Each structure stands twice: as structure tokens, then as C-alpha cells.
Chains A and B, each alone.
Chain A
Amino acid sequence: MSESSAIVSARGVVKRFGTLTALDGVTLDIEPGEFFGLLGPNGAGKSTFMSLISGLRSIDAGTLTVSGAGVAAGSAKARQALGLVPQHIALYADLSAETNLRIFGELYGLSGSRLKARVSQLLEAVQLADRRKDLVKEFSGGMQRRLNLAAALLHEPSLLLCDEPTVGVDPQSRNAIFDYLEELNRGGLTVIYSTHYMEEATRLCSRIGVIDHGKILAQGSIEELLAQLPFEEEIRFPSLPETAALAGELAGNGELATVDGVTRFRPRPGYALSTFYTLTERHGLPPRLFTSQRPTLEALFLQLTGRMLRE
């Protein structure tokens, strides 16, 4: 990717808080129109990276540009180009949905008929048009999340930063948010989406950066990332006394990890699955104990860090 075309370009970005290095040499490019996922556990540095892109904090080392402009100086051009959906419901709970949108629209310089039109469009888009006069505090969590998203889109940004925007949302609202984000992305909006849910990243993102302890461990499309795994299938079975002997025999033939009472076996390249099933028959273990699945981002993260995303 060429540096000049990237809407967000980070080169060796470092951010420290006292002795804690929150971001440690982050380098990545995000192209216009991408739906980029930033996947990592809590405390990995996702929100810090988002705050740097949005100009809320300054970087300690490296370079970071949005639409070609440095964000460290908090340039108006860079800020005008982006919309931020914070992790919190960043709305005035005692004001109506419409008033909230008007306030945030005016902060971006909208006024008059354009502001009025944008407020109406977005209330329609997030299915809150009929509740426009209601106070935000009277909304359900899902409705508040949808309005939280709408507030970031009033000024028609070219880059949308979504910092875990579905925390605590019911499945229906989550799907509504996903559908809307996908629609916006199809319309050309670049989205950077931070999450610790691999399902969200898998569904939404065309490209993903896996982050942990402030470092980008891997980045690419889902296919590219999963191709980094040294196995094509993962077999899971319960960790029981009767499966202990089987686990012992599998040890030399791939990776074995036990998490939450479930043993995961990732065969080494070239290991024939027929060998595995022969072994299970020999140990008299019924097939219902075993499930196999294609590798996931969870497995990739485990592979890269030795930890689960949830930890």
C-alpha cells in the first residue's frame, strides 16, 4: 500500500502513560473505503489508538496522519474528516434525541436547513424518528447506542472511528448497527472498528489488525490472517479422565491447549485426521465427544499470544 493513498497512516507510533507503554511502535495503513477491525483484548491499546487518531491525545514518537494531515496538532481538517463513536454513550441524557443531534451537528459547523435535514436523515436511519422528541435517558440501551452512532455521522465524515460501539447492546440493536455500518461502508465510508469480539470483526471487517500490549501482532484480511495458522482444523473434546490417555498420545502430533475444561488439538502440518479418529476408537471414546472446526480469529490470537481474547 502506498503511504500517500492511506486515509490513516501510522508509522512507529508510540504512546506512553508514565511508565506504561500503551502503544509500542504501531505501524499500519488504512485505505479509503476499508472496514478495518482493530481486534484485541481489553487493555490492548485499541482505545488509545482511537484517541490518537481522533486527536484527543498526542503521540510520543512516530508519525500519524489522517487524510494526509498530522493529527498531533489537532488540525481542523483532520477532525472535520472523522466521526467518533465513543465506547460510552456520549450523549446528554437529559436532552431529547433531536436536541443532542443538533448540538453535535452545530459543533461541526452545520446549521440551518442542512443541519435540520441531516438530523432527520440520521434519526430515520437509526430508526428513532418517531422518538426524536423523547429524552435520551428514556431510551433503551440499544436505542442510545444507535443515537450514539448517529451523532458521529452528522457532518458526513470520510472516516468513522467506532470504539467498541456495541458494548451492552441487545442482539436486535447490534444487528441494526451492523447493518447500518455495512451500508455506510458500501457507500464509501472508511470505518475503523475496535472490538474484542472476534464474531464482530469476522462479520464486519475486510481487514483486521490484531493488537495486544500495544503492538500490532498481525494484520490482513481474515483469510490472510488465518493462513498464518499452522493447522487447518481444530479438534475439541472435553477434558475428562477417560480422554486423558488420548490427550497424552496426541501431545507429540500438534498443539494441545486446555481452556475452560475443553482440550483443543491443532494437528501439526501433515498429520492425517484419519490417524486421530483411529486413536479415538482404540480408546473407546464415542464420536459425540469430538467436534472439529475451521480455525478462527480466536485461535489466531491464542496462537499469537498464548491467551484468549476474553482474558
Chain B
Amino acid sequence: MNPILVLLRKDFSLLLKDRTSIMITFAVPFAMIYLFGLIFNVNSTDSGPSGIPFAVVNQSDNPAAAKLVEALRTEKTFKVITEVKVDAKTTRPLTEADLRPEMRADRYRFALVIPKDVIRNDAIGLHLKIYSNPRNDIEAQMVNGILQRTLFSNVPELLGQSLQARARSVIGDARVSRFNGSIASAIAREFGGDEAEIRSRIDDGNFGFDRLGAGSGTQSAPTAGVQDVLSRIVKIDTEQVAGKDVKSPAATLLVGGWAIQFLLFAVTASATALFREKEFGIFQRVLSAPVSRSDILWSKFLYGICLGLIQLITLFSAGAILYKIDIGGHLPLLAVVCVFAAAACTSFGMLIASISPTPESARGLSTFVIMLMSAIGGAWFPVSFMPEFIQHFSRLTLVYWSMEGFSQVLWAHATLAELMPTLGCLALTTGLVMGFSVWRFNKGRMFV
């Protein structure tokens, strides 16, 4: 046989025996393609983020305002929250005063207040108030865009209703009714159409504003020109609840996300070096000295924490130089988060080393899991962009909690007490995973 073909067959034979290569060649990209497809709703008409918690406080008794809330509820981007928990069993309606502390605690990052004076008395138009905690630039931009579209899709109808309501209060029901009937009759006569239907739409406040340049369909997004008109009619007050003085929120996430991802690679490589030490007989020598297995494992664990702390602080310092991330005033708490994050990452590395039979399988498994955790944990793009069922899994990743900690320190300027839940999650993860890993190491063949 041709030597090229012989050598070609040899390479395929070796590939088939190498499960790690097969995993990295096929399984990892397949999983990523699948995940990204889900995130970006490939081949789905139902695109965009979904289920972003969005608080709405409706202070108005105008039916049009209630209708706006309903419109927001039907928008799949948002999970509308109108109540706040009093205790485990009871809730009460959300008030504007609840918003700031709740948003600082990151229970939701966007809120709309429909004030009592939603219908402006001094002119035709609406008055709304939006609170935001835009710690993720990309998410905030997308939410603002969708919120604007939703509002402006409903504003024309609201304006019509406000006109109708105002007219009824000023000239009375009978006169408004007669006026509407005359208008409907004139439209049907001059332009055609069913007079009764036209009358019904006018009574509902639908003067067809929503069709101004927007094509057909009541939920279609208004065009730029119409938006310009509407934006002058709708007065929106905005308030940023947190991070007003943060110069570069995007850089915080960029550095945090990539630093954690590569820290995971680094500490996993360090943990899987255990295989090499075993292969070289170093454990045999070390364990014959007055050294225990747990000494070896704890030294690896502490090494991972030190490496992680140095790496994270170095990368955030680089971020401070390159992108003006303000770490100076938050260094102690940032270091605390880095230590907890590094501990969690190291425990993950130890887990991979403890459950993998060979260094090759450890490498394949760690590549797969690290990329998966980075993707769904929010290192690459906001968690809110993912389908809701994946968002549940995001909270099970240490990438998510590490990035949460970085954001809390660098964006929300959280105190140590406020950081405790996040640090607790990282510590719990570390404890459970390290405990399991040590058990596996003692049961396995690493040290014998």
C-alpha cells in the first residue's frame, strides 16, 4: 500500500483510540454550537433575551396605565415584577421606595414607574420614570431598546385613550359619543370601511397613530421618524441606581470573565500536574518522607489560591491601566473576592484531576466544562441573553458567582456584609467540591 495511505490510516487509528482528541474535535464544538444556537435563537422567530426581571410600579389609576403594564407582561423579554416579598408567605405591591434597595441587591436591574401624573395635564403626552442598574452595558442597551419599542408601540393607544378620557371629563360622555360617531361616519363615507368598527376603535382611543409609518400590525415597532415624534410626546425621567461613577463597566466584565476562564485553565493544569508527579514517581518519594497525602493536596490547593489571587489582581491592574477600571478604592474587597473565586476554581481543578483516569481525559473534560461554564456563567455574554432554563444552570457555575462578586465590588461598591451571600456560595462550592475531590483522591489510584 502507498506509504501515505498507510500513515494516514495510522493517524486515524490513533485518533479513534484518543477519546480526548475526539471530544475536543467533535463534542466540545458541538456543545458550543448548540449552546450559542440556543442563546442567539438560531432558526427561531422568537429572538432576543427573555425573562429579564423588570419591576413595574403603577401609581396611576388610569386604565391606560394598567394596559401598559399588561403590554409589558406580554413582552417575553421581561419577567414583570409588581410585588415584593414581606415574608416567606406574603407579598405586597411594590412601591417606588422599594426599588433602590432591591435594585442595589440585584434582585432586578430595571424598573418602570408609572406615576400618578402619567397623563400630563399641561399638554398631550405621557410621563414615565425608569430606574436602572446598568452594570452590564450590553444587557442595558438591549433592555432599553426593547423597553422603548414596547412603550412606543403602546403609547399611541395610550395617547388616544388619554385624549378620550380628557375629552369625556371636559365636555361629557354624550358629547364625546356624538363626536366619535360623527368622525366614524365621515371616515366611512370618505374613505370606506365599516362605520361600526371605526366607531369602536375611536371609542377605544385608537386613532391609528400606531400605524404612522409603521406598516401594519399594532405591535410593530414605530419607525425612527415616529419615534422621534413620540419621544417628544413621552417624557421619561431616568435614574441610575448604582454605578454612576463607574468609568468602565464593560471592562469590569471583560476582565473578570476572561480572567476567571483562564484561571480555571491554569489551576486545572496545575491540578492535573498531579498525574505527571505520580508518573515520575515523585509521590512515591514524597510520601515516603514524613509527608501525608493531605499535605500534598492542601499544598496544591493553596498554590491554586495564590496563583489565582496573583493572576486576578494582575489582570484587574492591567484593566485599570488599559480601561481605567477603578480598583484602587476597592482593592481589599476585590482581593477577598479573588481569593474566594480562586479557591473555587482550584477546587474545580482538583475535582477534574480526581475523577479523570488519565491526564489526557482530564484535559479533554476540563476544556469542555470550562468553556461550558464560561459560556453559561456569563463570562462571554450576559446571562440574561440565554434561555430561561439555561439561566437556572448559570447560577450553578462558579464563573457566575465569581463574576457576581467582581461586579458587586467594582460596580455596586458593595460592602463586605453585602458580599457575604456571594462569598458564601463560592465557599460552599469550594467546600463541597474539595471534600468530594479529597475523598476521590483517597479512594482512587493517584497516590498508590
Contact = CB atoms under 8 A, between A and B. Distances in A.
Interface in A82-120: 82-84, 86-93, 104, 107-109
Q: Would you list the 8 A-B pairs with minimal beta carbon distance, nearest first? A: A88-B281, A90-B281, A54-B288, A84-B288, A86-B281, A90-B285, A107-B289, A86-B284
A152 interface: yes
A32 interface: no
B286 interface: yes
Given A89-B280, A89-B281, A151-B285, A56 B290 contact: no
Contacts of A46: none
B282 A92 contact: yes
Contacts, number: 55
Contacts of B289: 79, 104, 107-108
Interface string A64-82: 0000000000101001101
Interface in A124-156: 151-152
A174 interface: no
A159 B287 CA distance: 16
A82 B290 CA distance: 10
A55 B284 contact: no
A109 B290 CA distance: 9
Interface string B417-439: 00000000000000000000000
Interface residues of A, dominant DSSP: loop
Interface of A: 51, 54-57, 74, 76, 79-80, 82-84, 86-93, 104, 107-109, 151-152, 161
Interface in B267-291: 279-282, 284-291
Of B279, B281, B447, B448, most A-chain CB atoms within 10 Å:
B281
A47 B279 CA distance: 15
Given A56-B448, A57-B448, A84 B284 contact: yes
20 contacts: A51-B284, A54-B287, A54-B288, A55-B287, A56-B448, A79-B290, A83-B288, A86-B281, A86-B284, A87-B281, A90-B280, A90-B281, A93-B280, A104-B285, A104-B289, A107-B286, A107-B291, A108-B289, A152-B285, A161-B288
Interface in B252-309: 279-282, 284-292
Given A80-B290, A90-B282, 11 more contacts: A51-B284, A55-B287, A56-B284, A57-B448, A79-B288, A86-B281, A90-B280, A90-B285, A104-B286, A107-B290, A108-B289
Nearest to B276: A93
A300 B407 CA distance: 75
Nearest to A92: B282
B149 to A, nearest CB: 59
B290 A108 contact: yes
A146 to B, nearest CB: 15
B288 to A, nearest CB: 4
Contacts of A107: 286, 289-291
A149 to B, nearest CB: 11
Contacts of B279: 88
A171 B284 CA distance: 26
A38 to B, nearest CB: 16
A107 B291 CA distance: 7
Contacts of B284: 51, 54, 56, 84, 86, 88, 90
